[in-house]
Structure formats: C-alpha cells, structure tokens
Chain A
C-alpha cells in the first residue's frame, strides 16, 4: 500500500534553524516555517522505519549531546528504526538499556535535565505504563515545579503504537489518551514517512518533553518520497489533507489512511469530506478544527483507541463548546470498542472504513 506524495505543508529547509545549545524555542521553529503547497521536492522512496531512521541519524549528527537508547536499539531495534546508528555514532551515544521502562524513562529525565537530548525508545507503547510515573510526575512537571530552575525538555520518547493485524492485547494498544491528559507533555503522531521524519526532528529539538507514537502498521507498508535533508515540521499545527464542504473528519496516524478511503467512498455518493491530520494531540490545533467545522457544520473523529475517554472525546467536547450553533448534527466518534484489543476479533474491534462511511452518512443525513 504505497502512499502518494500529495502532501500540503512540508517545509523544505536545507539547514537548521537557529538551533541554540539550549533548544530551539517552539515559537521560533513555527515562525521559520513556510508551507510548501507544491509538495515535497525530491527524495527517495522510503518506508516509515527508514524515514525515522534518517531522522535519528540527523539528530545525532547535528547535536553531539544527543543520545538514543532503549531495549535492543543497538542491533537496529526490533523495528529497524535504529539501524546503523551504533556503527556511525558509537556505543556511548547509542546503547541498549536493561529491560526496564521505568529505568529508561528515569534515566532519560536525568540525562535531559543536564541539557542533553535524550531520545528514548519504549519497545511497544503497550509497555509504557511502568514509565508512567516518571513521565507524568517527573518529566511533565520538571520545569513547572522548579520554577524553571530546571527542565528536561530534551526528552523525546519514541514508541510504536497501534494495530498491526495480529498484535492482540499487548502489541496493538493506542495509549495516547492517557498522556493527553498531562499538562507539560506534548504528544505527536505522524501519518507517513515524510511526516514522521519532519515531526520527529521537531520533537527532538522541541524544548519540552514529547511522546512520539509511531504507527507500527506503517513501518514497512507506508512508502513515500522522503527528502533526505534535515527538515522539521511544526508541532501543534494540524493539516487539512483533503478539502471538503459537508463534513470535517479529524484523525491521526495510521487511521488517516482508513479515513481517506472512507472519504473517497463518500465522495462517490456526493458527500464532500474535509480530512484533517491533527499531528499534535497536545497541545492541539483547535483553531484549525474550528475553522473547518465552522465551514462544514459537521464533525467526525476517528481513532483506534477505545471510544470511552479516548482523545476524540476531548475534540468533540471542545468543538461542541465553541461551534455549537454551527453544528448541524451531533459529533460522531468512530473508534475502537471498549474492550482490550482482541486477536481473532481485531477486524470487529477496529474502526473500519465502512463504519466511518456509515457514520458520515448518518451525520450528513441527521
């Protein structure tokens, strides 16, 4: 399943933008962007893990105080994202850790607190929970609680998430909602190889703790032209992937492919769908979604994570608050079921394209 390179805003920057020894401030990164509406200029076709790998190579190359570590990263990682890093940067900058997520996170906090970029990998998002205390109570609050005497903004936690076809309970989870509830964290989810590279570099250089969820389904399957230079994509900036007038759809990560297919089907039945990639879940680009809903009058949110308490609920509540009079129909959520992620029943659990199409129609015909 190849993805066409028909993208919107990808910045084509040949060089780094004012990366200070401290960190680029979030606002200066955004200011230096220019949306390139023509799409990406050149680049080889790469899959997701290769694009991420490129980003990591660039991150380590451009900052001698950047480190990559986690379980099994040395030999290239269970998903090949860290291939070639040890050979190029050495065992002191790229190293395996013992099998202990709370240790990985705690170590990362300390390393980042000393001004380094700590790029930690949690092997599967399903295993992130032992690190939850370090992430929520320590990393997220490090700057605030110290009155900005200290910060661990250099921390980026990368972790594969989401359905993979056969992952069951513990290789398929989408735990993003837990982290979206934590002031002080940023949560970023890319949808494609070129997006992933730019977003990951932005995350690594952002002076705040970031969790970067990588859709594992797309590691091999998604292939796209990815520019080989150093570029970043802005955080907290959503992208309209597809313009439309009848209904706004919001999603992130691998689910966008499913939603795109649903949009194509709906289009054939005369429904014009506007599809938005949120990219950053917190802090999220409310304005972009509101502008869209004010245009279409309808909203549908879709994610793999269980519907109850999922991040779709936040988007729905916020849009209802701010766009109530414009709404023509209730906000629809097409999400995972409220069950642990099942194996044999995976096709039933997932928010499929037809579930989305049905919901689009129901919303439009409300």
Chain B
C-alpha cells in the first residue's frame, strides 16, 4: 500500500521497498569503499557451487591491498556467470490495470494522472500519423515509440524542467510532456524554416534548449557520457536537478555506455541512466546483444545502484524515476533504471520487422500488453476518464496533427545561407568562399537545385 512519501529519506524508503539493488541498508547512503560486501542479493545461495560471494565471507581472515581489505578463502570458487534467478522487476499495476496488493508507488493526483494519460495518447496518435505521412512520401523518415509510451510520458512526468535530458531518439514523449507542440514536431520532420535545427538533420532529430532536451544525434549511446559531464556541471552548480539519459538495449553494448557508467560512479554525479530494454536493436534480439541478465546487473559492476522495472506500467515508471531522481540529487550519485518493454513498431520507416520476428508476437504486445490501455483501465476505474473523453481526445489530437502537418508542409525551407552558419560560431573564410562559389553555380544550373530552398 502506498503511503504519502516525501523527502529523500522517504524516497530511500520507497526505493528500498521497490528493490533498488545494492548494499542498500536503511539510513546508509554511502555504499562505496567500506569493507562490507553486497551480500543482500546473494541470500539465496544453495549448497555446493555457490552462485555468488558467500555471505560468511566477513568472518574470515583477510589482507590489505590497494582499495582496502579483502577476506581470504581456501576454497577456489568462481562467481557464477548468472545469478540463480533473474533480478526482480518492479511493477505497480497488473496487466489488467489494477494496483497490485502491497505495491508501493508514488501517488499521482487526478490532474497529473490525466495529463500523463493524455500525453500517452497524444504520443501514440502523433506517431501513427507521422508514420503515415512518411509512407505517403510527405516526410523522408520517421520512427515510432509505439509500446513505449509509458516510458516516455511517465518518466518525463517524474522529472522537473530543470533536469537536463540526453535522449537517444525514441523519446520524443519527454519533449511532448515538456511542451513541445505538435507544430514544432512537424516543423522538424519537414525541415522547414521553423525547425530549430534549421533543416540540417533527418526527421525525429529534435532538440530544444528552452525545454532542456539536447538535440538527438543518430550515433548510438554517444549521449550517455554527455549526460555524465552535464551532471557534473549540475553538481558543481549545486542545482537541485539531475541529468537523465535514455538508451536502448543495443546502446548498452557500446563503449560509451561502459565509459559513462564508470565515470559517473567515480565522479559521483547526479545522473539517471534509463535503459529502454525493448527486446530489439533493429533486427538483433537481446539474446544476440548480451549474455548478462539484461542491463540492470551491469550497474553493480560499476558500483551503481540499479533497478529493473516494468516499462509498460506507467505508475511503476513514474515512481521509479521519482525515487531515482531524489537519490541522484540528494546523494549525488548515478542511478541505473532498466525498463523492460517491447518495441511494437518497426525500428523505423526503413525497417519491416516482420522479416525477423513473428507477427503474432508483435500483435500480442500491441494489444494484450499495451501500456496505454492498461493505464487507461486504472484511470477509468478511478472514475477520472470515460469513453467519451477518449473519443474526444483522439479526435482533437488527430485534427491538430493534420493541421500542423499541412502548415509544415507548406512552409518554406530554411534559406541557403543556413547551410554555412553554425559550423563555427562565425563563418570562416573558406566557408564564405564556398558559399560564393556555390551561388555562382546555382545561377548557372538552377535546375539542379530544389526550388523550395530560398536562395
């Protein structure tokens, strides 16, 4: 049963009950450096080959090495490659949208609950319509977040506007939550003159300084160490804010993931590492991505407190991010969250995932495991939402989107001069020279160039 929790002591308590991994004893926030070993997860050792460090270790004679004392043992025992059981997954709502008895979670007001719900619906609708627009040839590219709406919206809802976000590319919901309008999304996808990115990048590469959402870049996992540097800045400024970075299961294989987690732990910075483990990196299933028990166990390898959550459970996502944020800021430490979910859509409009996974699997997750309908049931049971509300919302969002797309499509592209600006803070002589030459070429061969880019 959820109590009303406030403050970081309460957040720690909630975290403890949610099962954040680590040598996490109530009241003890300093987990590193001391002689105690993380014995809690190893309670289930059996006889014979021990699955992990024996809990009797601290009673044995030991010795000093750089970094402190270790206990010596006569038995040669290898740590098993996997624990006997997978790390547990925190959830609040069951598949039917009912709060699970005994679950602890951060309560949400009706207003917040509805904002979250309509955010999820808006995101889903936006995705559906933009995807269609790409199919119709109106935009060049798109990728959806279908199946991950709870991750997108609920995590954003648990953050504040001061928390700086370093996304991968499947998190436009964070921007949506923060106030990026459908028109602004459309402008970027069409690369028109209103696009803050000035038409330079492919669709879905959004960014907004005002909303503290760093511009998306295509390379995988490069944003993860950026978040650590940014968190260091926040810590030095003494701000009550953290950095948050999102990435998929595939991203955890990149060197930048490893580099970032290690740096974050050593530098003790307030950063949340949010892994969307949706089962697929384009066509590569997680069985071909890693052999660890997902991403959550890697946290401990770096000395980072971690949790695995049901990414399709809006309330679990909200609660976990809320607790993680409190810990990250008050204790100035990184937190790793692994949200288990499923990528219902194809990787992108350049992909057809039925080529590598069964259609029935996709359909199962699209319907029976849909995070939106699951959360909707909870919201409706509280008496906060009706079928009429639903129809109205979807109709309005769709209309707004169609309108935004029409406007975006008709708007001019950014002028040619923006091809050369922002390479440096001011254009250099070689760029000025190249612009002059290009303009001469365009004069001679106007037909080679798209007519919708103003010269």
A: residues with CB less than 8 A from B are: 23, 25-27, 65, 92, 95, 97-98, 100, 102-103, 105-116, 118, 130, 133-134, 137-138, 141-151, 153, 183-184, 186, 207-208, 236, 283, 286-287
Contact check, B259 vs A113: say whether CB atoms are below 8 A apart.
Answer: no
Closest 10 CB pairs of A and B: A110-B229, A106-B225, A103-B259, A110-B226, A111-B229, A146-B215, A114-B233, A147-B198, A283-B428, A107-B229
Residues of A within 8 A of B226 (CB): 106-107, 109-110, 113, 138
Residues of A within 8 A of B227 (CB): 110
Residues of B within 8 A of A143 (CB): 422-425
Q: How far is the CA of A23 from the CA of B233 in the complex (A)?
A: 17
Q: How far is the CA of A145 from the CA of B209 in the complex (A)?
A: 13
24 A–B pairs (Cβ distance < 8 Å), ordered by A: A26-B424, A100-B259, A103-B225, A103-B256, A106-B224, A107-B225, A107-B229, A109-B229, A110-B230, A110-B231, A111-B229, A113-B230, A114-B233, A134-B256, A143-B423, A146-B196, A146-B197, A147-B422, A148-B421, A150-B209, A208-B424, A208-B425, A283-B424, A287-B429
Q: Which residue of B lies closest to A109 (CB)?
A: B226
| Contact residues, B204-257 vs A (CB, 8 A) | 205, 207-209, 214-215, 217, 219, 222, 224-234, 236, 243, 255-256
Residues of A within 8 A of B425 (CB): 23, 25-26, 143, 151, 153, 207-208
Contact check, A145 vs B200: say whether CB atoms are below 8 A apart.
Answer: yes
Smallest CB separation, A148 vs chain B (Å): 5
Q: For the complex, is B266 an interface residue (Cβ under 8 Å from A)?
A: yes
Residues of B within 8 A of A27 (CB): 426
Residues of A within 8 A of B426 (CB): 25-27
A133-B219, A286-B430 known; A184 vs B424 contact (CB < 8 Å): yes
| Contact residues, B412-430 vs A (CB, 8 A) | 421-426, 428-430
Q: How far is the CA of A97 from the CA of B269 in the complex (A)?
A: 13
Smallest CB separation, B198 vs chain A (Å): 4
Contact check, A149 vs B430: say whether CB atoms are below 8 A apart.
Answer: no
Contact check, B225 vs A102: say whether CB atoms are below 8 A apart.
Answer: yes
Say which residue of A23, A114, A145 sits within 8 Å of B234 (CB atoms). A114
Smallest CB separation, A203 vs chain B (Å): 13
Q: Which residue of B lies closest to A97 (CB)?
A: B263
Contact check, A100 vs B230: say whether CB atoms are below 8 A apart.
Answer: no
Residues of B within 8 A of A207 (CB): 425
Residues of B within 8 A of A145 (CB): 197, 200-201, 205, 215, 217
Residues of A within 8 A of B219 (CB): 133, 137-138
Q: How far is the CA of A110 from the CA of B260 in the complex (A)?
A: 11
Contact check, B197 vs A149: say whether CB atoms are below 8 A apart.
Answer: yes
Smallest CB separation, B131 vs chain A (Å): 23
Say which residue of B164, B209, B236, B259 sits within 8 Å of A92 (CB atoms). B236
Residues of A within 8 A of B196 (CB): 146-147, 149
Residues of B within 8 A of A102 (CB): 225, 255-256, 259
A100-B263, A138-B222 known; A148 vs B429 contact (CB < 8 Å): no
Residues of B within 8 A of A144 (CB): 200, 422-423
Q: How far is the CA of A199 from the CA of B51 in the complex (A)?
A: 57
Q: Which residue of A lies closest to B228 (CB)?
A: A107
Smallest CB separation, B424 vs chain A (Å): 5
| Beyond A102-B256, A106-B224, 8 additional pairs, beta carbon < 8 A | A111-B233, A114-B164, A143-B423, A143-B425, A146-B207, A150-B207, A150-B214, A153-B425
Q: How far is the CA of A111 from the CA of B243 in the complex (A)?
A: 11
Residues of B within 8 A of A114 (CB): 164, 229-230, 233-234
Q: Which residue of B lies closest to A148 (CB)?
A: B422
Residues of B within 8 A of A108 (CB): 229
Interface string of B329-360 (1 = CB under 8 A from A): 00000000000000000000000000000000
Residues of B within 8 A of A98 (CB): 259, 262-263, 266
Q: Which residue of B lies closest to A140 (CB)?
A: B423
Q: How far is the CA of A299 from the CA of B195 in the complex (A)?
A: 46
Residues of A within 8 A of B422 (CB): 143-144, 147-148
Contact check, A286 vs B259: say whether CB atoms are below 8 A apart.
Answer: no
A102-B255, A103-B263 known; A110 vs B215 contact (CB < 8 Å): no
Smallest CB separation, B25 vs chain A (Å): 27
